[in-house]
Every structure is written in C-alpha cells, then in structure tokens.
Structure 1
Amino acid sequence: MKRSLEQRLYEGTVIVGEGYLFELERRGYLQAGSFVPEVALEHPDVLKQTYRDYMNAGSDVVLAFTYNAHREKMRIIGKEDQLEPLNRNAIRLAKEVAKEHPTEEALVAGNISNTNIFDPEDPASKDTVRNMFAEMISWCKEEGVDFINGETFYYYEEALIALEEIQKQDLPAVITFAMMGENILRDGYTVEEGSRLLSEKGALVVGMNCFRGPNTMQPYLEKIRENVGGYVAGLPIPYRTSEEHPTFFNLPDGGCSCHLPLETTFPTALDPLYHNRYELAEWAKQAKDIGLNYIGLCCGASPAMLRAVAEAVGVNTINSKYSPDMEKHFLFGQDETLKNHNVAYRTKA
C-alpha cells in the first residue's frame, strides 16, 4: 500500500521536487512574466515528462503544477474559462506519473499559492482569496490528491485562510512561507511565529519555500525548527542569495557584459548566480541535521540538483545510476585501461 505523507514523515525524510515554473520556462513551454502553467493543457506530454524527471530524481511527491493557476492569474491572461480544466488536468497527469514509481507509488499533492491580491486592509480581498482557494481545493478533493501544498505565502493571514479551506475538505496541509527582503512577513508576523501558529492550528507541515537561497533561508529554518513541535519544511531556491541581497528579486548581475532588458536579473538572467549541486547537497545535510523533515528545492532547481539533495540525505533515487562517476573519463578517470597520454595531459587541458 502507498504510505501517506504523515507515515513517510514519521519514518524519515520526505524529498520534494518543486521548481517546475522555471524549469518549464527553461525548456521553452512557459512564459516568464505571467508565469501561468498553461502547459497542463497545451503540452501535457511535456508536463508529464517534467513530473517524471523530478520523481526519478528522488521526489516522493508529484506536485500538481497549478501554481499560479488561480482565478486572478487566469483573469489577467484572459483565460478564466480554462481555469477548471487546467487544474484538473494538471492533477490527473500527476496521478498518472505517480503510479509509474517502480517501488512505491509517489504521493500526489494539490497546489495552491499566493494570490497577489490579498490585502490585510481590505475585507473584500480576503473573501475573494477564500473563494479562490475553496474552488481549487474542491477540485483537488474530487480528483483524489493525497494532500494540499499551500506555498509561497508572504502574509500570515492569507496562509491561514489557505489552511482553513484545506481543513474544510479534510485533507492534510503543507503550508510554507516565502519571505521578502524585510525578513518578516508582510503583515508583521515573524516567520517562526507564523509557522508555529499554523502548526498549532493543524497544519501537518510548516516552513519556507522559494524567494531565498540556502544562505538566507537556513537561519530562519533554524528558528522555525526551534519554535515548532511538528514537521518542518525547507525548499530554497538554488541561487546565491546573501545578507545584502536576501531574495532572488534583486540579485546583482554577477558580471554580465550585456544589456539586461529588465531592471534586475530576475527572472531570466539568473544563470550565473546558481549554487552548484555540491553546495546544495551540503545545505541538505545541514537541513536534515537540524531536524527538517520535508526537504527539497524550489524555483530554478533542476532534476540533477534535486538528486544531489536526495542523495545527500541518504536517498538512493531511481536515477542515481546516472549520478556522476568520473572513473572512466578520458582525462580525469582512474581506470587503468585509459590512455596514459590523455591522463597525463589533464593538468594542461
């Protein structure tokens, strides 16, 4: 039988692959800027392969790609009539891929996220947000997801609304915050306070995702772990954020010699600012050591990066057979059958 999310968390670390948004833009099937997952309808085969790539790289969860597939985003691009079909198809594709796992069927998570219209001073916006979440979660329930991932919230109260609507459908909830550069949630809560409150109100997992790389997320993950008795999640972006530039929204260009068409490197000129997979693996070890239970990567992550994270915490992934092994490389290998004149040349290459 397929174990539930709670069973897997109790028994060990759960690996979660996110980052579809940037990955599908990188593959050429999603528009940067609007960042709406129309790929679920326009190129379902591409989305299935992306799901598959992350699952094979170690993800225990196939996260239905409905990030930004809410009514407000669909209104902006003039496609509200496609809202429900897009959501349902993204979930159905995720379920198909989850069944392909060779040892244990992967979990399937429904996905809701920041709406960008929540306003703590506007009661009407809160009602709108609640209704948006309610309809998406109802489709998730009808399609038979295992839990709901509510992510990238920078208001505590919006995250709370998400949790309340998830609980109305009697589904487990993972709720994660994405903190802006002020190092506090936008309605004044610290991230550890918001996480503690959501955990006490019944969220199965709380924590952080997106916006911040390991360097600027880890200190807050430690605070969350100290303040939360339940399960804690950490899913940073794979970029070199710093104390001076704590999020990827304002990272400097890293020496780019060309003219950038946008004011910042975000979102299409971040390439020189990646952590390598070994740095991400070191972060994953630190995350496990402090007691994080739900570990992964967010926007910008590739399957190879996720595999390195999974292997760092002791997971042998489906595609670990393709992990780097330089033993037979013509310059850097140690295999005794390699040509000596090539091996001797390695320092000059």
Structure 2
Amino acid sequence: MLQFKKDRVMILDGAMGTMVQKYKGIRNIIPDTLNVLEAELIKKIHNEYANAGCDAVVTNTFRSNRLTMYECGFDFKEVIKRGIDIARSVRKDLLVAQDIGPIGRFIEPKGPISKGQAFEIYREQIEIGKEEGVDFILIETMYDIEELDIALKAADDFSIPVFASMTFNKEGSTFLGYTVYDMVKTVEKHRVAVVGANCSTGPTDMVNIVKKLLNTTNIPVLAKPNAGIPRDVEGNLVYDVNEDDFAEYILTMINLGVKVVGGCCGTTPSYIRKIRVKYDVLG
C-alpha cells in the first residue's frame, strides 16, 4: 500500500484529452487509440507533464475497455499495454498510474450491461495493469455508485493500491443523484488507498466537495478539478480558470488536508508547473 507522508502531497499530471486536442487540432478523437497509432505524441505529452514537476503520470487508457476499443477497431489489451509502456518510458523516478474510466454504458437495471459483464470488463483491465507493474490504479470520473462498487470488487482481487474518484456537480452529487457520503460508504467496504473527486466542476466548487470528503472519511483524499467551466470559442473549448488561480485553489485544498492533487479537463502542463512551484514554496 502506498504510504502518504504527513507533510507531503502527491502531484498527479493534468488532462490528456486537452493536450491531444491541442496537438491534433480536432475534438472528436479517442486519445487511447493513439497509444498504437501515435505513441511518440503520447510520450511527448507525458514528458511535458514530467518536466512540469508531477510525481506520477497517468496512463492514456481512460476508455481502454473491451467494448469501447472493439468499436474503435483496436485490441484493448494492446492499447493498455502500450499505454503503460509509454508512460513507464518517460522517467524512472515517476510513479505510473493506470487510468480506468467508466465503461460508457449503464449497468443493469439502468442499462444493458449485466453486473457480471461489468465485473469482468474491470477485472481484465486491472489484471493487465497488475501484470505490467503499474504502481497504482486510478478509477476515476465515476458517476454510478453501483458501477464503482463493481469496479472496486474487481480490484479487490489484486494486491495493488487503488485510487477511487467520482465526478460531482457543485452541489456535491453525481448526475444520477449519488452523494459524497454514498461514495465514502461504498469505498470503505473495499481496499482503497485514496478517495476523491475529479472532473465536472472547476476548483472553486471542488473546495466544498473535498471539505465534505475530509469530514466524512479518514482515507487520504484526492482532488482533480477541471480548469473551470468551458465555453466554445470559434470551435475551441476555452476554460475560465487560469494557471495561477487554479494553483491557488489547489493550495487551499492542500491546506485543508488533501493528499493527492492534479488536473482534469482543460488543464495542461503549465497548470501542473504552477502547482509544483507554489507547493514547493509552501513546503
């Protein structure tokens, strides 16, 4: 199990999709496929985050489950393995986290995927990460507490640290109505190293979400907000929180007791660099 020093915080990297869109100039792309098609581009993005000062790089595998990759015409196993290899090749002193997102389809009784199917989909992804030697699993952007529970049951079969993160609106609930308290009650049934929130909200609203988490659980807390709220400007998504303000909010959350921080949609290496610089001054 990863150990968190009382006076140190882990800094993750920022968004992958934002960077892929920046370099490719298109928005309708599944970044995971570039692990096979354009590995050097993914390595370049990981390198930029590493040079910005992150402690861990997150693999480009958010949507690399069997169903999504089949629809894209790719072998999910190859996509995951290549994603891990690319991340590991960046720098030996960095931790590597395997990124796992939602399946992308509702699970019974809400949708067509059975609980057994969902369990196997998560288990086979985590098994690859375990075999390839990732340092921890990041299960993130979850919105259905039942799906999170299934993913964590799959992870329980492996001796590997797991970070679990859900996506909440500014009121502190998912679009399906699950709350921070529902998440904590669920993750505490499993072997989870870190619990947190990512995506959906900017850093302003994330402060209130992590306060609820810190007041509800003794598990170390993660915060990965978006760079604010996006708006479309001539076909490009522009986020409304700049690097300096973003880093200040992150420092506020660190001072509250958050142990793992990073960036979600809209964040870039410059956001992570600001966090590193401000945090090092604080420390």
TM-score normalised by structure 2 residue count: 0.91
- 1:269 aligned to 212, 236, 250, which one? 236
Distance in 2, matches of 1:45 and 1:15, equals 24
- Read off the aligned partner of 1:307 and give its amino acid letter: R
Equivalent in the alignment of 2:53 = 58
Verify the 8 A CA contact 1:9 1:231 in the aligned structure 2. no
Distance in 2, matches of 1:123 and 1:182, equals 29
Aligned ranges for residues 292-307 of structure 1 at < 5 Å? 292-307=258-273
Equivalent in the alignment of 1:23 = 19
- Read off the aligned partner of 2:95 and give its amino acid letter: L
Aligned pair in 2 of structure 1 residues 237, 295: CA closer, same or farther (>3 Å)? Answer: same
Verify the 8 A CA contact 1:110 1:145 in the aligned structure 2. yes
Question: Whose Rg is larger?
Answer: 1
**Cα-to-partner distance string for 1:144-202 (whole Å, 9 max, x where unaligned):** 11110100000111111111211212111001001257742355431233134314522
Aligned ranges for residues 205-244 of structure 1 at < 5 Å? 205-239=194-228, 241=229
- Are residue 118 (structure 1) and residue 113 (structure 2) matched? no
Distance in 2, matches of 1:125 and 1:147, equals 27
- 2:134 aligned to 145, 151, 160, which one? 145
**Cα-to-partner distance string for 1:233-259 (whole Å, 9 max, x where unaligned):** 0000112x4xxxxxx5xx5x5xx5x6x
Aligned pair in 2 of structure 1 residues 193, 313: CA closer, same or farther (>3 Å)? Answer: farther
For the aligned residue pairs, the C-alpha RMSD in angstroms reads 2.3
Structure 2 SS opposite 1:150: strand
Deviation at 1:227, TM superposition (A): 0.4
TM-score normalised by structure 1 residue count: 0.74
- 2:249 aligned to 276, 283, 286, which one? 283
Structure 1 SS opposite 2:277: helix
Distance in 2, matches of 1:181 and 1:34, equals 28
Deviation at 1:14, TM superposition (A): 0.3
- 1:88 aligned to 81, 86, 91, which one? 81
Structure 2 SS opposite 1:176: strand
Structure 2 SS opposite 1:313: helix
Equivalent in the alignment of 1:346 = none
Aligned pair in 2 of structure 1 residues 18, 126: CA closer, same or farther (>3 Å)? Answer: farther
Equivalent in the alignment of 2:95 = 107
Deviation at 1:36, TM superposition (A): 4.0
Equivalent in the alignment of 2:190 = 201
Deviation at 1:22, TM superposition (A): 1.5
**Cα-to-partner distance string for 1:99-127 (whole Å, 9 max, x where unaligned):** 1xxxxx11111121111213351584322
Per mean C-alpha deviation after superposition, the further-off stretch among 120-129 and 155-164 is 120-129
- Read off the aligned partner of 2:250 and give its amino acid letter: A
Distance in 2, matches of 1:314 and 1:118, equals 42
Verify the 8 A CA contact 2:65 2:103 in the aligned structure 1. yes
Deviation at 1:274, TM superposition (A): 2.8
Verify the 8 A CA contact 2:145 2:186 in the aligned structure 1. no
Structure 2 SS opposite 1:300: coil
- Are residue 176 (structure 1) and residue 165 (structure 2) matched? yes
Verify the 8 A CA contact 2:106 2:112 in the aligned structure 1. no
- Contiguous gaps of at least 5 residues in structure 1: 100-104, 242-247, 259-267, 317-349
Counting aligned pairs with the same residue, the percent is: 26
- Read off the aligned partner of 1:83 and give its amino acid letter: F
Structure 2 SS opposite 1:238: coil
- Read off the aligned partner of 1:90 and give its amino acid letter: G
Equivalent in the alignment of 2:90 = 97
**Cα-to-partner distance string for 1:33-81 (whole Å, 9 max, x where unaligned):** 352411111111111111111112121111111011112222332x14x
Equivalent in the alignment of 2:30 = 35
Distance in 1, matches of 2:256 and 2:183, equals 19
Aligned pair in 2 of structure 1 residues 21, 290: CA closer, same or farther (>3 Å)? Answer: same
Verify the 8 A CA contact 1:177 1:208 in the aligned structure 2. yes
Distance in 2, matches of 1:218 and 1:106, equals 27
Distance in 1, matches of 2:34 and 2:144, equals 28
- Contiguous gaps of at least 5 residues in structure 2: none
